[in-house]
Amino acid sequence: MSTAPPLPPSGRHVRVLYTTRYREGGPHLAQAARTLAQEKAAAGARVSLRPVETKRALVEALCTDRRPIDELHLITHSGMYGPMFGTTAMPEQMSPFEWRALSLPFSPGGEAFFHACRSGRWFAPFFARTFGVPSSGHHWYTTLSQSPERFVWAHPGLFSDAPLYVVGQRGRRSHGSLGALGKHLGLLPPTPMVRHLPAPGLEGAAYDRVAAAYDATFTDIRVRGPEWAWLSARVPPGARLLDLGCGTGALLRALEDRGVDGVGADVSAAMLEQARRRRPGGCFVHLDGPTLPLPDRSLDLVVSLLSWRYVDWDPMLAEVARVLRPGGRLLVVDMVASPAALSEGPRVLAHRLRALRTERRFPGFAAARDRMVNDPDWARLLTYNPIRAEHEYRWFFGSRFPEGRMDVLDLGRHSRVLAFDSGPLSARWFPPQSYP
């Protein structure tokens, strides 16, 4: 770990890319990029400095210039699964599938640095194993500081030629009010970037190791009381639907008595094996990338229960648009990271009591769940598939489906369950993107 990227040896090619439009603080991000570029140039590096406001601009900046990259620095905002582009009114994010399709000209000793919130958790290790280069990112949220060694507030009127740095910083969003106080008093210094070396990952096979335990836990999907109630109210009898991320097929089994013609799809072969064992004769397909092996306009509904965080969002939406009939709907239920406000305390308690009542209705569920979550393979799985933030869902779905509706089904102290109904989709609906 290091508090700042090391200065380059003379003559190294350093690319510094940055965004300004996605969220607030754009001018300061540009200023931080200039500071970094000036410091690298002063150390003898050949520096390319360029704004990248869209996915397409990023791809052009990375792939058009084929000079070997010794250091890549990206200064931006980030979602859990990587850097964000565009604006929050129409956010763009390179999907894992799209990243893997790129050929980046790193030198043999090349490295990548992502100066963005939480980029060190999932994205930096993914980037490292995808492109075979050490990659660094921040574990906590980031802020702007006039010093890389201690937090010095960058006030909005800061003159444009003053040095400015993106630093990882414990504060209110990560450590509450005490964190904010410690930050501004200088008691909590910036935290080092986390450096990840290339290493093999579990990727799509992450659930294979816990398939049996998962099947034992969710034999009856009705143990997810609020989620089941919300979904079952929106699936009409006789509908033809796709359960995207079907796991061991519990949702499809629960819908059988409604005459639903369902197809289950998942990336985990072991999960699908459990699903076929439980539902002989059922239709289950293996997913390999963001494509659906289904005919055009063949479905009334696409449902994703607690699995949307794992898919490549925009590439998969293109497939959803293709396989849904006009008037079809997308229904998504997923867990997101979102600390409860003090005013939400009564609802958190009420929802916890509701969960305890549900557990009593399904003997054996709590014990099976505890065995699953205490399994070391489950803990390892979570390191490769982290939970996304609530605002990522709200901005993404709000921009793609302006007539859709988002509901909160369950509140916890640090997370909540959201449910999204796209509403009927028109024949011409398609998610707008700058790339591919």
Q: What is the CATH number of the domain that holds 152?
A: 3.40.50
Q: Which of 154-158, 214-218, 275-279, 333-337 has the lowest mean pLDDT?
A: 154-158
Query: In the predicted model, what is the mean pLDDT of the chain?
Result: 91
Residue 27's pLDDT is 92
Neighbouring-strand partners of residue 168: 142, 191
User: Is residue 173 domain-shared with residue 269, that is, in the same domain?
Assistant: no
d(C-alpha 425, C-alpha 418), whole Å:
20
* CA trace torsion 183, 187, 188, 190 (10° rounding): 90
**Domain final residue pick, 171, 196, 221:** 196
d(C-alpha 402, C-alpha 392), whole Å:
15
**Does residue 426 belong to any structural domain of this protein?**
no
Residue in 303, 304, 305, 285 with CA at minimum distance from that of residue 294: 285
**Domain final residue pick, 169, 196, 223:** 196
User: Is residue 101 domain-shared with residue 78, that is, in the same domain?
Assistant: yes
**Does residue 428 belong to any structural domain of this protein?**
no
Distance set, CA 164 to CA 1, 75, 213 (Å) = 21, 12, 49
Neighbouring-strand partners of residue 153: 145
In this prediction, residues 322-335 reach a mean pLDDT of 96
What total number of domains does the chain contain? 2
In this prediction, residues 11-20 reach a mean pLDDT of 95
User: Is residue 367 domain-shared with residue 250, that is, in the same domain?
Assistant: yes
User: Is residue 155 domain-shared with residue 246, that is, in the same domain?
Assistant: no
CB 171 within 8 A of CB 118: no
User: Is residue 215 domain-shared with residue 181, that is, in the same domain?
Assistant: no
**Does residue 6 belong to any structural domain of this protein?**
no
413: which 2 tokens? Answer: 């102290």
Residue in 88, 148, 142, 135 with CA at minimum distance from that of residue 117: 142
CB 303 within 8 A of CB 252: no
pLDDT in tens, 133-190: 999 999 988 888 888 888 877 776 666 778 999 998 776 665 566 656 666 667 677 8
Per-residue pLDDT for 262 more than 80? yes
pLDDT in tens, 71-128: 999 999 999 899 999 999 999 999 999 999 999 999 999 999 999 999 999 999 999 9
CB 145 within 8 A of CB 115: no
pLDDT in tens, 361-403: 999 999 999 999 999 999 888 877 778 999 999 999 999 999 9
Segments forming the whole domain that contains residue 249: 203-421
pLDDT in tens, 50-61: 999 999 999 999
Residue in 156, 147, 166, 23 with CA at minimum distance from that of residue 86: 23
pTM of the model as a whole = 0.91
**Domain final residue pick, 142, 162, 196:** 196
**Does residue 434 belong to any structural domain of this protein?**
no
Per-residue pLDDT for 242 more than 50? yes
User: Is residue 211 domain-shared with residue 188, that is, in the same domain?
Assistant: no
pLDDT in tens, 205-230: 789 999 999 999 999 999 999 999 99
User: Is residue 365 domain-shared with residue 219, that is, in the same domain?
Assistant: yes
Contacts of 65 (CB under 8 A, 6+ apart): 15, 48, 105
Residue in 430, 404, 202 with CA at minimum distance from that of residue 316: 430
Residue 103's pLDDT is 96
d(C-alpha 169, C-alpha 190), whole Å:
5
